[in-house]
Amino acid sequence: MVKKIRGILIVLLSLTLFACSTTNKQPTTETTYTAGTYTGVGNGRNGEIKVDVTFDTEKITEIVIVSQSETENIADLAIETIPEMIVNNQSLGIDSVSGATITSEAIIEAVADAVKQAGGDPEALKNVVVNKEPTKTIELDTDVVVVGGGGAGMAATIRLGELGKKVILLEKASYLGGAISVSGGNQVVMGSKLQKEAGVTDDSVESMVDDFYKNGANLNVPELITLYAENIGETTDWLNEYCKVEYDMEGGLHKLGEYSYDRELAYVDGGPGFTKTIKLAVEESGAEVYLNTRAYELIEENGIVVGVKAKDIDGNEYIITSSNVILATGGYGFSDELLTPELQSALYYGPETSTGDGVIMATVEGIDADTRLMEYGKRYPNGIEVSEGKAKSTIAGNIVGWTMSAILVNAEGERVVNEKASNRTILETEIEQTNGMLYLLLDSKTFDIWKTKLKEAGITEEDIERYVSENGKTTPVFANGNTLEEVAKVVDMDPTTLIATVEKYNSYVTNGKDLDFDRPKDFMNETIGEGPYYLIEQKPRFATTMGGLVVNESLEVINKNGDVIQGLFAAGEVVGGVMGDDSPSGANNGWALTSGKLAAESIAQ
């Protein structure tokens, strides 16, 4: 199978897998089926996956995915190829698609369900071995190897190409995008032409640095947060003008409690929209892109990093020599080994690829990279639990809800926080409440607008209709009722308290002053009106880690003795310290893109 590609003309793993054949070994009992079509169900990352599986008496003849709500781009390859691989090999023992393991396993689970209904033996099919082509060792040479195809890796790749460097980009998943592709799609744009165009002309590096210190408990590394603030404006303009990334100027700058000035914009069509555009820029950069190819070791000679070793999904070995390596491998949010118990307890909403590979490779004996703030991660207060232990964000809807009549209440029906406070303040309040959560209270008018804003976070209106129909019986809780009393009873909340809370809040709106929590007047535009009413769970969610490798202002990685590791750079979430112990909204995307660009420029210099 050809794994080397120019730009992003991807010859994906499906070609190899379609060519595979089963061994002659048969299950211990002959496989026979009751011919027909059966519907099977598996539990995906974002909910149920339903498949229709057609059998004749001897084999599976067709698999059609009937419904699914998996994340676009991330799950696409699994959805396209897993059913065909099962049919071609008459086996449930096939490999999952890298980066889409949960989706892959859910499809296999759904087919196994149908096999059982048809009278077959799913366990026997899981034991049918799939033969693969012999593996080989491939030696390559380039100017720069970029490890990781998320925001930082893509920005570095594009900028290196612009500066005339030959680049190989390695991505262990089957897609480019990383964490930014599943983010809410917001970015700090301080100092950019776009911020000025949107009406803010007096923001400053000093103000941004001060705000980040306050949000990060003053644990931020001074030179890194200053580097970020000094360069994010230029990076934003480069993304917009050179990479053709579109920002939602119609929606305008977001008013957020973390910032002294409005300095965040959304991408048009959110994280997925950004990723679709930036992938085209990667293609045009001339880089060689290897998907499904995981770097596992840095090549070191006399203390200098001179390349990487990698392995693809088919077992082929790559030995790549280069003048420089940029680690842009993301964080470790999906690694129980590197996470604290506190972070492990939060709902996870990031990519499955965030397993700390860069930190692990760089800290081995002989490389000895230093790390810092590994105990910290960014938790947000606005998650809904779409499947066990997995979350999605409602922040895009909440931002609009605060301009209308949305409020937050606890399990007792009381307001306990200024809804326009910083995410950190809301989170700290939330985790102190009963069950460590809050509810978002919406009237009918606000809900109808709120639900249209969540698509880019992977929550469709069809999903919401399903959640509403469950009415609190399952998670995520989307309790609803025609009256406040009815909706309170769904979640065992005291109706009298909730009614009193709404009456008090409405009086504050009428009088233009929140006497309890000082919610800004600009965000008290409407009283809570007519039902139906909705109480939507708000739980802590987590994806981004704050800790990582120690780097200098040139993004060179530093070892435990405080010396530069020659040939090794890092960018994005794998770098520790820029945010302190917590990151404000839009900050992680901005840092990934800025540091990726700057790492490329350091190498070119």
Residues in the chain: 605
**Burial state string for 368-392 with b = 16 or more CB within 10 A and e = fewer than 16:** bbbbbbbebbbbbbbbbbbbeebbb
| Strand ranges, E, within 443-527 | 478-481
Dihedral sign from CA coordinates of 393, 397, 402, 407: negative
The answer to whether residue 31 scores a pLDDT higher than 90 is: no
Running DSSP on this structure, what letter comes out for residue 135? P
590 closest CA partner among 257, 194, 143, 164:
194
Burial class (CB in 10 A: 0-12, 13-18, 19+), 564: middle
The answer to whether residue 388 scores a pLDDT higher than 90 is: no
The answer to whether residue 107 scores a pLDDT higher than 90 is: yes
Q: Quick: pLDDT tens for 415-433.
A: 999 999 999 999 999 999 9
Query: Distance from CA of residue 522 to its chain's centroid?
Result: 31
310 closest CA partner among 323, 292, 334, 331:
292
Running DSSP on this structure, what letter comes out for residue 67? E
Q: Tell me the mean pLDDT in the region 19-31.
A: 43
Q: Quick: pLDDT tens for 327-361.
A: 999 999 999 889 988 888 788 888 888 999 999 99
- Second CATH level (architecture) for the domain 380-542: Alpha-Beta Complex (3.90)
| Strand ranges, E, within 56-166 | 60-67, 130-131, 137-147
User: What percent of the chain clears pLDDT 90, i.e. is strictly above it?
Assistant: 79
Dihedral, CA atoms, 509, 513, 514, 518, nearest 10 degrees?
Answer: 130
Most confident of 31-40, 97-106, 440-449: 440-449
> Which of 18 and 38 is assigned the larger pLDDT?
38
Nearest-10 crossing angle of helices 205-215, 222-241: 120
CB 185 within 8 A of CB 273: yes
Q: What local confidence, expressed as pLDDT, does residue 184 receive?
A: 77
Which of helix, strand or coil describes residue 431? coil
Q: What local confidence, expressed as pLDDT, does residue 30 receive?
A: 64
Q: Tell me the mean pLDDT in the region 571-596.
A: 96
The answer to whether residue 4 scores a pLDDT higher than 50 is: no
CB 266 within 8 A of CB 194: no
Q: Tell me the mean pLDDT in the region 241-252.
A: 97
What's the one-letter identity of residue 459?
A: I
Q: Quick: pLDDT tens for 528-575.
A: 999 999 999 999 998 899 999 999 999 999 999 999 999 999 999 999
Q: What is d(CA 143, CA 154) in angstroms, rounded to the nearest whole number?
A: 16
Q: What is d(CA 567, CA 564) in angstroms, rounded to the nearest whole number?
A: 9
Q: What local confidence, expressed as pLDDT, does residue 598 receive?
A: 98
523 closest CA partner among 403, 429, 401, 414:
403
The residue extents of the domains of the chain are 21-131, 138-376+546-604, 380-542
Task: Give the class (CATH, top level) of 138-376+546-604.
Answer: alpha beta
Q: What local confidence, expressed as pLDDT, does residue 18 receive?
A: 36
Q: What is the pTM of this model?
A: 0.79
**Burial state string for 210-248 with b = 16 or more CB within 10 A and e = fewer than 16:** ebbebbbeeebbeebbbbbbbbbbebbbbbbeebebebb
Q: Tell me the mean pLDDT in the region 134-149.
A: 96
Task: Give the class (CATH, top level) of 21-131.
Answer: alpha beta
Which stretch of 173-177, 259-263, 287-291, 407-411 has the lowest confidence by average pLDDT? 173-177
How far is residue 98 from each of residues 82, 354, 544, measured CA to CA in Å? Answer: 12, 12, 20
